[in-house]
Chains A and B, each alone.
Chain A
Amino acid sequence: MPYLLRVVIFSLCTATFPALAQLQIEITRGVDNPTPIAVVPFGWSGPGASPEDIARIIDSDLARSGQFSPVSRRDMLSYPSRGSELYFRDWRAINSDYVLIGRYELAAAGNLRLSWQLFDSTRELSVEEGVVTGAASEVRMLAHKIADEVYQSLTGIPGAFATRLLYVSVTRNPAGKDFYRLTLADSDGARPIVLLESREPILGPSWSPDGEEVAYVSFETSRPAIYRQNLRTGAREQLTNFKGLNNSPVFSPDGNSMAMVLSKDGSPDIYLMNLASKRLTRLTQHYAIDTEPTWMPDGQSLLFTSDRGGRPQIYRYDLKSGNTTRVTFEGRYNARARVAQDGRNVALVHQQDGAYHIAVHDLVTERLTVLTTTSLDESPTIAPNGSIVLYATKRNGKSILGAVAVDGGVSFNLPARDGEVQEPAWSPYLP
């Protein structure tokens, strides 16, 4: 074939890559009265300068949630790192309802040990405290774990900061073929790593339920094919190479099989592949387009997009009975569903007056709520705690990521520093 293959695969262990397509965060809307919290710089008792600004990572996480307004360091009267050094009146004086303090040190085997304590400065009591330990190379993740615990302690909802994002970054090349990079980053956009680079499209990235593997579609052979790739070892396997469409790979909740779209037998239909035997089972069989499968969290049924009724709408396929039922009825275009872990909220793309918005369909009340006001929104993905929908949208002709709270309260944008970014996939909770 006259096609030049230019595909590079990187494993997490060996990747040393420039910070390409690093995401930035711009909060566009918060809640009305965010809770003021002071995240005091953490004390460092190891040798040399403090290796990471732990407090900065935590207060950025809390600010991004829109529910907190971190107090500026310049306003702090002191930087206590132990409870005995803390005077509540100093914090009440700068209107900080809560104070988070902590310190960290070297532990055995190159690990770091971070301890933290959260105080309520109005009631003058300790709310919660904890310790996290882990590899020094994962210090940012350890800080996110503290943010998760603080968030849960103050809101009652588990945090999802210690998670990661998968997305496709695209660098347009007016002189020739574009560059596509499958990229993995922390949930705050930090530490981007390129998993795959190609001059041909990469699309539909998704996570295995244990967060160890990813699946995606690559056109690197000049035809679409589905691949899976282990994030720890870098091992990569091509799963399909059928005539026609090969897309939308989604791991089942038990991790044993993968739903996907193939058109090898005529029109696009949903298939199930047993990942051990590679045996295929055809789930839907219709002359219309059936595509964009996604699993219900219990693994008993799948939602998918079909235009069997004339226009694309969401349908549900029950694995046990083999029955298909229509889920969405509101509007002329509802597609690319993703289900929250509660099995109730379904994020999808909804067309209204010619514009494509992100909406949430509640499977219990059957009500649809439009969450965004931009007009070319697509690829919604829900944080594992169900609170935020991340999606792709266009701004000034370029693809960027946007995020909006499922309750509509908070929104922020994550443009790439360079190039464009599309097709986000939020990881599950990571071990």
Chain B
Amino acid sequence: MKSFPVAGKFASILFGSLLLVACSGNETNDNAAAEAAAAEAAAAEAAAAESAAIEAQAQAEAATAAEQQQLQDAAMSAGTVFYFDFDSSSMTDAARMAVDAHIAVLLSNDDSVRLEGHTDERGTREYNLALGERRANAVRDYMVANGVPSYRIEGISYGEENPVAFGSSEANWSQNRRVELK
């Protein structure tokens, strides 16, 4: 968490609005509240002399928040599900473009993400668990290569266990071969 006096408040608001928050536990909120309280005291002390400076700071933060919102809007419209070809763990161009939008968001904040790898129903369940992991890893590696620290990414494979489309045809299978960002 940043230690700017006013930024603390903005950060809390941002956290609430973020869709990509993975683990917003109580601890984080408590810390934020404590920091905000301490920050207010400090801010009051400095306020008399530097109110103009603070206003400028707040405006800058507001601008950042607007930028953040823009990035997030772009990420949401890109979608949180990335599809794969049969028996492949290589990201398609479409998947890369969608992930790029999420990378932009992740580079502008400190959030963690969970990547869930899935396969279609063909082949054995345990082998599919490994294929699902390969897919999640492909997205993770691409994110890391583009600057997202690996400790902020968790990969989980469900193999063929959680289909979104039921039925045994390519139309269903292609929807199930995916990595979901959560």
Residues of A within 8 A of B (CB): 1, 172, 201, 203-204, 219, 222-224, 244-245, 247-248, 261, 263, 268, 289, 291-292, 305, 312, 333, 335-336, 349, 351, 356, 376, 378-379, 394, 397, 423
B123 lies within 8 A of A247 (CB): no
The verdict on B90 contacting chain A, using a C-beta distance below 8 Å, is no
A394 to B120: give the CA distance in the assembly, Å. Answer: 14
B161 lies within 8 A of A201 (CB): yes
Q: Which of A201, A223, A336, A397 contacts B162 (CB 8 A)?
A: A201
Chain B window 117-152, contacts with chain A (Cβ cutoff 8 Å), 1 for yes, 0 for no: 000011111110111011000000000000000000
Return A228 CB to nearest CB of chain B, in Å: 18
Interface size class of B (residues with CB under 8 A): 20 to 34
Q: Which of B23, B124, B134, B168 contacts A335 (CB 8 A)?
A: B124
B133 lies within 8 A of A247 (CB): no
Return B140 CB to nearest CB of chain A, in Å: 11
B126 lies within 8 A of A219 (CB): no
Contact residues in A for B125 (Cβ distance below 8 Å): 203-204, 336, 378-379, 423
**Known A-B contacts A263-B133, A291-B126, A376-B122; A245 and B166 likewise in contact (beta carbons under 8 Å):** no
Q: Which of B124, B157, B161, B168 contacts A378 (CB 8 A)?
A: B124
**Known A-B contacts A201-B158, A245-B157, A376-B121; A335 and B129 likewise in contact (beta carbons under 8 Å):** no
Return A202 CB to nearest CB of chain B, in Å: 9
B167 lies within 8 A of A336 (CB): no
Residues of B within 8 A of A (CB): 23, 121-127, 129-131, 133-134, 155-159, 161-162, 166-168
B124 lies within 8 A of A268 (CB): no
Interface of A is mostly: strand
- Return 8 A-B CB contacts under 8 Å, by A number: A172-B166, A247-B129, A268-B133, A305-B124, A351-B123, A356-B122, A376-B168, A378-B124
B126 lies within 8 A of A224 (CB): no
Return A344 CB to nearest CB of chain B, in Å: 22
B124 lies within 8 A of A223 (CB): no
Contact residues in B for A261 (Cβ distance below 8 Å): 126, 129-130
Contact residues in B for A394 (Cβ distance below 8 Å): 121, 168
Return B160 CB to nearest CB of chain A, in Å: 9
A336 to B166: give the CA distance in the assembly, Å. Answer: 23
* Closest B residue to A172 using CB positions: B166
A219 lies within 8 A of B158 (CB): yes
B156 lies within 8 A of A223 (CB): yes
**Known A-B contacts A201-B162, A291-B130; A379 and B124 likewise in contact (beta carbons under 8 Å):** yes
A333 to B128: give the CA distance in the assembly, Å. Answer: 13
Contact residues in B for A245 (Cβ distance below 8 Å): 129-130, 133, 157
Contact residues in A for B133 (Cβ distance below 8 Å): 244-245, 263, 268
